[in-house]
Structure 1
Amino acid sequence: MSEAEKFEFEAEVDRECRIRIPPDLQKASGALPDSIVTIKMKPIMDQERRPLEIHPKMPENFEFTDRVDEEGFVRIPDMIGRSSGTSPGFTVSASVEHVLREEKREPAYKYEFLDKVDEDGRITIPGVIRSSAGIGSGDVVSIRLRHVLDSENRPVERIEELVDKFDFSSRVDEEGRITIPSEIREAVPIAPGSVITVKMEQVMG
């Protein structure tokens, strides 16, 4: 396991919504093919190379975890692409935040992810995060709510005022899903179709 020290780069998003970690940065950070990396990114230019303005209530950066392929590419998840407004041809500013080069259990606090809330108030922990953090069905995870977009992709401002009030724990089901407690969904509010960003604080087997 290697802790990357803010290895920053810019990259153009390809047709498959991937970005390539530069070869020199792959070596320096340890983000080599088949390693699992956490990337923090934000779009900075559109296809015409025009600077982008980010809504002030949107997250400053979007974070995701993926396995590096043999050519040094990582794929931007569809949900993050839609929420950040990132499309093929855009340029993003990115950094390698964390690198896992061995299949072993890692502290859950390394991981932040984004997902759409389903009809039952559930979100799914990405498979690559479950694998690298050693999370299985029946485990209980402690979660901190970081950001919420409503079903029309508009930021919910209340979360900024009371972010420390919206920590919760949930048991992981067989499909890697966790349930947001109904009282939190009502208080924020969070509805089916909302897109939320959460940070994993702890895993309790």
Structure 2
Amino acid sequence: MSAHRRPVPPGRAGRLRLRHSLGTALRGADLLERKLRLLLDRERELRRTAEEAGRVWGDRLAEAETWCVRGLLLGGEQALFEASPADRAEVDVEWTALMGVSHPSSASWTAPVRSPAERTPGNTAFTHAETAYRAAVRAAAEYSAARTAAELIAAEAERTRRRVRALRRHWIPRLTRELAVVELGLEEAEHEETVRRRWGASYRNRDGG
């Protein structure tokens, strides 16, 4: 909220402006709170997804390293180099938006392809290791996408929370106080005007009598 505001005009014009500003602030706070709830729900969902993908990643990586060690013991480093495909895996990240926040929605990957000229793993341990490493890469991509999305959503949720706090704790109370002062002044002015009219009517009636 801006710290610089136009001065409130006196009288009914000021009351009208303050009522409009207060109504706008209240509606804005309600909308921001709904946005905050949606963001927090989405963040929790993404955190759970990232946590699960992280566990899968760790399990598959540990499994792959175990099989790789066995393969090295059976065939040596040369067999590992010969069993590794020359092609590389490719990871594609798809993006979406929630309440104006752009974040990763999913991650897909293309596994490396072994050409017909390349040798296949020389023992079953390397075959199992290759399968586990592919699963680990897939889980790592999913974990990274979900974690990044959760962090982006969390950052927007924090910004939204600060805006709601500013409205609820500062802006709305200030407008409410200012409106109360203006309405009190108008009420007093109307009361004084009523008293003056009664006095005027009383004097006229007395003089006429």
Q: Give the TM-score, by structure 2 length.
A: 0.15
* Bigger proportion of residues as helix: 2
* Bigger proportion of residues as strand: 1
Structure with bigger gyration radius:
2
- The answer to which structure, 1 or 2, has the higher relative contact order (CA under 8 A, 6+ apart) is 2
